């Protein structure tokens, strides 16, 4: 068996660039993704762009519509609400399980992620906030001991990140989010599974309320 690590392919790099652009709002929901334009902007061939778009279609970040081509799908409030409902269930369980298993090194990395989140918020770095939030949650997910939950969350990850970006764009939401994440961290540090679950669920519910107000403005 060949286990050699291969360099990232052009297609993977193109998919990563497009994913970041969609999540950061460079391409807006409903906007068509013109292959020729993407080839020019990414500096890659049309086959590489097409493969990248197919990858993002699997993540639900791109929809390929007959007679229209690829576009950024519009996420309805009903779809968003369902994702938040599933997140509350899964992330509550993840936090509770992780509270019983977390090591000092796990907690250290979560503290660092939270510190980076606060730093990014102070400097107005939206991408940095998202990256730090992902690291915070990745630590819990990887250490919760439930591979099925990991698999389900991974399938929702791109849409979760999109909604995080939207909710945290609301003025003042990031500061509330930091306090809620700190509450989760303190419960995990104390090994209190019940408090960790409650804090994680409250965090998702508050994010849901923030996202709803952003949907209402559109």
Helix (H/G/I), strand (E/B), else coil: 4: coil
Alpha helices in 24-103 (DSSP H): 35-42, 46-58, 77-99
More confident of the two residues 181 and 218: 181
pLDDT reading at 3 higher than 60:
no
Q: Provide the pLDDT confidence category of residue 108 given band limits of 50, 70 and 90.
A: very high
pLDDT reading at 193 higher than 90:
yes
pLDDT reading at 217 higher than 70:
no
- Residue in the structure block whose two tokens are 């907690």: 107
Q: Provide the pLDDT confidence category of residue 8 given band limits of 50, 70 and 90.
A: low
Chain-centre distance for alpha carbon 174: 15
Domain 10-71 falls in which CATH fold?
Arc Repressor Mutant, subunit A (1.10.10)
pLDDT for position 214 = 74
pLDDT for position 162 = 82
Q: Provide the pLDDT confidence category of residue 71 given band limits of 50, 70 and 90.
A: very high
Question: What is the CB neighbour count within 10 angstroms for residue 106?
Answer: 17
More confident of the two residues 187 and 79: 187
Q: In the chain, what's the furthest Cα-to-Cα distance? A: 56
pLDDT reading at 218 higher than 60:
no
Domains 10-71 and 77-216 share a fold: no
More confident of the two residues 209 and 187: 187
Number of H helices, E strands in the chain: 9, 2
* Architecture of the domain spanning 77-216: Up-down Bundle (1.20)
pLDDT reading at 85 higher than 50:
yes
Q: What percent of the chain has pLDDT over 70?
A: 95
């Amino acid at each position: 068996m060949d286990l050699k690590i291969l360099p990232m392919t052009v297609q993977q790099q193109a998919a990563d660039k497009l994913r970041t652009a969609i999540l950061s709002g460079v391409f807006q929901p409903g906007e068509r993704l013109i292959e020729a334009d993407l080839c020019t902007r990414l500096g890659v061939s049309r086959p590489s762009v097409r493969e990248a778009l197919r990858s993002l279609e699997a993540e639900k970040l791109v929809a390929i519509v007959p007679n229209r081509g690829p576009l950024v799908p519009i996420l309805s409030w009903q779809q968003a609400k369902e994702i938040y409902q599933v997140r509350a269930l899964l992330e509550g369980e993840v936090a509770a399980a992780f509270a019983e298993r977390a090591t000092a090194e796990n907690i250290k990395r979560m503290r660092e992620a939270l510190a980076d989140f606060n730093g990014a918020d102070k400097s107005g770095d939206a991408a940095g906030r998202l990256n730090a939030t992902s690291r915070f949650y990745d630590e819990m997910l990887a250490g919760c001991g439930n591979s099925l939950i990991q698999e389900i969350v991974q399938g929702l990850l791109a849409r979760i990140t999109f909604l995080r970006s939207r909710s945290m764009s609301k003025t003042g939401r990031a500061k509330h989010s930091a306090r809620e994440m700190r509450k989760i961290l303190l419960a995990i540090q104390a090994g209190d599974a019940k408090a960790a679950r409650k804090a994680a669920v409250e965090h998702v519910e508050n994010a849901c309320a923030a996202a709803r107000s952003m949907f209402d403005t559109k």
